[in-house]
Amino acid sequence: MRASVNERYGSPDSLAVRDIPTPQPADDEIQVKVYATTVGRTDTCALRAHPFFVRPVTGLLRPKRKVLGLDFAGTVESVGLSVTRFTPGDRVFGLTPGGYGAHAELVCLPEDGPIARMPEGRRFDEVVLCEGAWYANMYLKKFGLQPGHSILIYGASGAIGTAAVQLAKFYGAAVTAVVATPYLDLAADLGADDVIDYTATDFTQSGALYDFVLDAVGKTSYFACRPLLKPTGVFAATDLGPWWQNIVLALWSSITRSGRVVFPTPRANRALVEFLRDLIEANELRAVVDRTYSLEDIADAYRYVETQRKTGIVVIDVAPGPSKSYAIQPS
């Protein structure tokens, strides 16, 4: 089968699309033909082994797992002897275990993992939003977001941010989205109650106070956003921050029981993907697709994601035909 392979850590130039052995499902696994996947920040960090302390897990000198890719959508090709949840031909989507394997024509996954049948009537490229929605939902659940709460989402045009706006509205919160000028209409269309253009004004000096502030792109800090927080307000970021300050502050907040900064540990499961499927079916959650690349051009997708200018998700069409997508091109 064809796959994007990285034999060494480095830039997108280290990727090569080539033939590798086809994986065979274990007794409790399904084999999925991948039609659509994505390249996101998780993939670019894994490619460069960033942050460096992940290397004892991912491989000190060279990557242990050579095919990246977390999001996938496709059809079940075959199933293991003990599999009962799925049958060949089922259209499925979800997340690969450990964040590896989806940048290939075929991937094998445990049947009880974060996988679900696709929503009816959706294309493959419309459902590869699980990674961003997973992270967004994790932070919103950690906040304990409920009706009546207010939340400011900084970087509301990325994969996590676009999902966070929609999920926060689903949970009943009042949402303020902070984006650049080209994405003001997008944020409003996703449901934000208020939209701030950070290129035109200093969003930290708005005078408004929020129950929660989520930095969905890892480009601001708790100290910058502290004026926005209510006395019991909570800050979270999807990045370690300068000098890993977000982990340090989260640990200190836990020790002092102030709860001012949180940094949750991601865990994906079957219930999460089924929850996202139900939201997609109910039109409460949709993908925002920036660009689509073929598997052969996946290195270009990595280069584009590393510009940090993408809107929503960047899709990879692994198999030709049924996963063509619309695109929202950034200005």
| pLDDT one-digit tens code per residue, 23-52 | 999 999 999 999 999 999 999 999 999 877
pLDDT of residue 331: 31
Q: Which domains does the chain have, with CATH numbers?
A: 2-128+287-317 (3.90.180.10), 131-262 (3.40.50.720)
Position 254, amino acid: S
Calculate the CA 318 to chain-centre distance: 18
CA-based nearest residue to 90, from 2, 30, 38, 24: 30
pLDDT of residue 250: 86
Give the alpha-carbon dihedral of 60, 61, 62, 63, to 10 degrees: 20
CA-based nearest residue to 330, from 305, 294, 299: 305
88 upstream amide cis, omega within 30 of 0: no
Burial of 50 (0-12, 13-18, 19+ CB in 10 A): middle
Residues 48 and 295: their CA atoms lie apart, in Å, by: 19
pLDDT of residue 28: 97
pLDDT of residue 321: 52
pLDDT of residue 325: 41
pLDDT of residue 330: 37
Beta strands in 188-251 (DSSP E): 194-197, 210-215, 229-237
CA-based nearest residue to 324, from 293, 285, 282, 303: 293
Alpha carbons within 13 A on the beta-carbon side of 187: 27
Position 260, amino acid: R
Residues 314 and 37: their CA atoms lie apart, in Å, by: 9
Regions of the chain short of the pLDDT cut 50 = 322-331
Strand partners, 289: 313
Question: What is the DSSP pairing of strand 229-237 with strand 261-262?
Answer: parallel
Contacts of 230 (CB under 8 A, 6+ apart): 209, 210, 211
Strand partners, 108: 31
